[in-house]
Amino acid sequence: MTDATNASQPTFGFFQCGNDTCQFRFPAETDNIRAKNCPICGTRTTLTTTETVRHLPKLQTQQTLPLVGVVDNVRSLLNVGTIFRSSDGVGVQHLYLCGITATPNNPKLTKSALGTEATLAWSHHHNSLAVARDLKARGYQLWALEDGDRAISAASIATMQIETPIALIVGHERSGVDPELLAMCDAHIFLPMNGIKRSLNVATAYTTVAYLVSFAMTAQH
């Protein structure tokens, strides 16, 4: 008997190349005819294991926090889409997309946003400074993800008592947050790095800090 709840869900399998010198192993939908041959050497593959993709049930109500994101001049569609998906998961109320930051009107953004661009509130603005001034007037603290003399470690967020709404700000992948916007911020946050690089990808950094803020906020309720 077919499970009606999963009848429309794709079934994935892991295929393995039959060439002993290759043995390439990869996932694909079981009815994908391209998976019958190894994409590396062309040898016939063997379907080893299968699994039906199951989706968790949606929550009846979505919880949002007093947290918004300001995404200023982020050029990568992949990064912006990832920020949408992370913001949805965290419970961000609104994304303010500024400058050259792409909006969901660009269909390529949906590849990484995975539907969250249709459910998360967002707006586009020409000037991030005007957005920042408005948010401050509405009682938000502005936290910028940026290294520097004023920056505090993101690790300290876990023990903070956050009593005001927070606007989490990220900037251009190469030049960082606009200096005039930085000057308006109440806090600069950095992620300690142990490797040769001084920073993470902007979407990864945003996701990390947004979750730390959400944990601190929810721990107080």
> What percent of the chain is modeled with pLDDT above 70?
87
Q: Tens digits of per-residue pLDDT, 22-72?
A: 999 999 988 899 999 999 999 999 998 766 555 545 544 567 899 999 999
Give phi and psi for 107, each to the nearest 5.
-60, -20
pTM across the whole model: 0.78
* Confidence (pLDDT) at 150: 84
Question: Phi/psi class of residue 57: alpha, beta or left (left: φ > 0; alpha: ψ in -120 to 50)?
Answer: beta
Confidence tier at 114 by pLDDT (50, 70, 90): confident
> Quick check: helix, strand or coil at residue 135?
helix
CA distance 36 to 2: 25
* Confidence (pLDDT) at 220: 65
CB 198 within 8 A of CB 190: no
* Parts of the chain belonging to CATH 3.40.1280.10: 67-219
**67-219 has CATH 3.20.20.10 classification:** no
CA distance 178 to 197: 21
Which residues lie closer than 8 Å to 154 by C-beta, 6 or more apart? 189, 190, 191, 192, 208, 209, 212
Residue type, 111: K
CA distance 62 to 215: 16
CB 188 within 8 A of CB 182: yes
pLDDT over threshold 60, residue 197: yes
Region 94-114: what's the mean pLDDT?
87
For residues 88-124, one letter each, b for 16 or more C-beta atoms within 10 angstroms of the residue's C-beta and e for the rest, the string is bebbbebbbbbbebbebeeeebbebbeebbeebebee
CA-wise closest residue to 128 among 181, 173, 80: 181
* Confidence (pLDDT) at 109: 78
Q: Tens digits of per-residue pLDDT, 127-164?
A: 999 999 999 999 999 999 988 888 888 889 988 888 89
